[in-house]
Structure 1
Amino acid sequence: MADTGATFRALHVRGAPFILANVWDAGSARLMAGLGAKALATSSAAHAFTLGRVDTEVTRDEALAHAESIVAATPLPVQGDFEDGFGPGPETCAETVRLAAEAGLAGICIEDVSPAAEAYGFEAAVERIRAAASAARALPRDFVLTARADGVMHGIYDLNEAIRRLQAFEAAGADVLYAPVLPSMEAAARLIGSVTAPVNLLVTRFEERSLAEFGEIGAARVSLGSALSRAVQKVMLEAGRGMFGAGRFESLLAPGVGGEVDAILKAF
């Protein structure tokens, strides 16, 4: 088996970001790979939607099985969106790392906010990342651990606290740092400048910015989160409302799309 962890790690260069494409099934994985993605990631929210659920309602076993299907779809490195590591304890986070590696993932991200939208205490959050990083370093192959400070996104703590946590996560052994849904590019630049490890930025709130602009402030990676799946859901909502509301079908017009997509899928 190729060391996808090493391949994934090498993609992370401050100031030269790549797009981490969050996908939800083999078809979306192969389509993004065929269009030029260098690495893929699962999305907990997108995965939950495929099960008819909402984010945080997926079990670890389900997330692992889902991740395996994405890994098998293409040769690209895949990161798992594994929420808070599926448990509050440091050893649970470490076990999740080991299981993720067994599933073939190149890395995972672990959040510092529980499914109940409560931030873990500072010391507890750091210990969780330290345990996960230790487990990652003990693996027989490379594995990229991304530590997330999600409090800004949830309105639990401010940018200063996010920076404090990410600095501590870096010291605890995290390979990549990530605070989603930042208020501005200026805030993102300040966060990136406060650490030395590669930083992931989420495209949400920055959809009108270019990849080059993310590079200018030093980002190493730009992820989509659930944005791509939400864009697909938007089309489904508009088409459904047109059909079942007004009895109209114009939203389904997609000339040539089937042939283009089929051609990409046939390349695998």
Structure 2
Amino acid sequence: MTTTPQDRALLLHALHRPGDPLLLANVWDAAGARLVAAAGAVAVATASAGVSWTLGHPDGDRADRTEVLAQTARIVRAAGDLPVTADLESGFADTADGVGSTVTALLATGAVGVNLEDGLHGGDRPLRPVAEAAARIAAARAAADAAGVRLFVNARTDVFLLGVGDPADRLAAAVDRARAYTEAGADGVFVPGVTDPATVAALVEAVPAPLNVLAGPGAPPVSELARLGVARVSLGPGLARAAYAALRLAAEEAYGRDTYDTIAGGLGYQELNALLAD
């Protein structure tokens, strides 16, 4: 790498432009980082689900923090001078101070962005209380400030994704959480589970930070999301799901039909080998 973490962090901030969104084809390993870079990516993002799956864990705060950070470091090295933002679920910690420690460790990998979500896996409620989630965002911000890196903190609220509460109240609830998180130091807000253009537009209007949405089959095209004022579009675990589907199909074909047609459509050995050559 020829750029500093601060250089890459400032670039990541500059890439969040409402109406001209940063498109992130989320990856889970070093080869994926090289592939999306070759396809034209200007930044690289990890998908927590994809990283967890490739490490042999289900998604949902089940992966080991040390393993996730080691995988993130590999992705950062493969990404070269492109800024990398890492999805760290809820921060792999029970407390706000623990989230701060996780962010300090993340910065040591060279990543310059982080997703932190308010979902509460395995708890007695689907979401953390707003004040608790905001304190975790504040801890992440403080850890980055102490390290002297303008980390892009992307605060994710799962109000829509998890279908929390009355549908008529979800927009207001998501906006309330978004405002609390930006006040705590978040630089952007991620609201997965929203694809309706009217709701997206309402979030853009009400959220005081660049809005990130999750795209995929059934979602508006990036051009439409740009028109609505979205600043960041993520593909999330979609690419990992597609890749693993191809793997399963190829294996089922070999075991069940004694043919190799799925493999025939894959990338070439030399092409992939060259991709990771120094």
TM value normalised by structure 1: 0.91
- 1:149 maps to what in 2? 157
Within 5 Å, give how 1:209-248 maps onto structure 2: 209-248=220-259
* Aligned residue in 2 for 1:135: 143
Q: Percent identity?
A: 35
Distance 2:276 2:216 in 1: 31
CA drift of 1:74 comes to 2.1
Q: Are 1:201 and 1:223, in contact at CA under 8 Å, matched by a contact in 2?
A: yes
Displacement of 1:165 in angstroms is 0.3
Matches of 1:13 and 1:80 in 2, distance apart? Answer: 19
Name the SS for the 2:161 alignment partner. Answer: helix
Aligned match of 1:115? 121
Q: Secondary structure at 1:151's aligned position in 2?
A: coil
Query: How far apart are 1:109 and its partner, in Å?
Result: 0.8
Q: 1:220-254 CA distances to partner (integer Å, 9 max, x unpaired)? A: 11111111111111212222232223333322222
> Which of residues 44, 61, 74 is equivalent to 1:69?
74
C-alpha contact 1:82 1:108 (8 A) present in aligned 2:
yes
Is the 1:201–1:219 contact (alpha carbons within 8 Å) kept by the matching residues of 2? Answer: yes
Structure 1 residues 46-57: aligned runs within 5 Å: 46-55=50-59, 56-57=61-62
Secondary structure, aligned partner of 2:11: helix
Where does residue 265 of structure 1 map in the other structure?
275
Which residue number in structure 2 is paired with residue 95 of structure 1?
A: 101
Residue 267 of structure 1, CA deviation: 7.8
Change (3 A) 1:8 1:264: farther
Distance 1:95 1:238 in 2: 41
**Does structure 1 retain, via aligned residues, the 8 Å contact 2:152–2:188?**
yes
Q: 1:201 aligns with which of 192, 204, 213?
A: 213
Quick one: structure 1 residues 53 and 263, their matched pair in 2 at CA, closer, same or farther if it must change by over 3 Å?
A: closer
1:7-26 alignment to 2 at 5 Å? 7-26=11-30
Separation in 2, partners of 1:205, 1:177: 22
Q: Is the 8 A contact 1:83 1:110 kept in 2?
A: yes
1:190 and 2:177 aligned:
no
Shift of 1:57: 1.9
Match in the other structure for 2:264: 253
Structure 1 residue 41 corresponds to structure 2 residue 51: no
| Aligned residue identity for 1:108 | V
Aligned-residue RMSD, C-alpha: 2.1
Question: Is 1:111–1:150's contact at 8 Å kept on the other side of the alignment?
Answer: yes
Off by >3 Å, runs of 4+ in structure 1? 204-207, 259-264
Q: 2:133 aligns with which of 112, 125, 131?
A: 125
**Are the aligned partners of 1:181 and 1:205 in contact in 2 as well (CA < 8 Å)?**
no
Q: Contact 1:21–1:39 (CA<8 Å) still a contact in 2?
A: no
- Separation of aligned partners in 2, 1:199 and 1:226: 19
CA contact (8 A) 1:31 1:261 kept: no
Contact 1:84–1:115 under 8 Å retained in 2: no
Aligned partner of residue 152 in structure 1, secondary structure: coil
What's the TM-score, normalizing by structure 2?
0.88
Between the aligned partners of 2:270 and 2:21, the Cα distance in structure 1 is 27
Q: Tell me which residue corresponds to 1:161.
A: 173
Deviation at 1:214, TM superposition (A): 1.2
Question: How far did residue 60 of structure 1 move?
Answer: 1.3
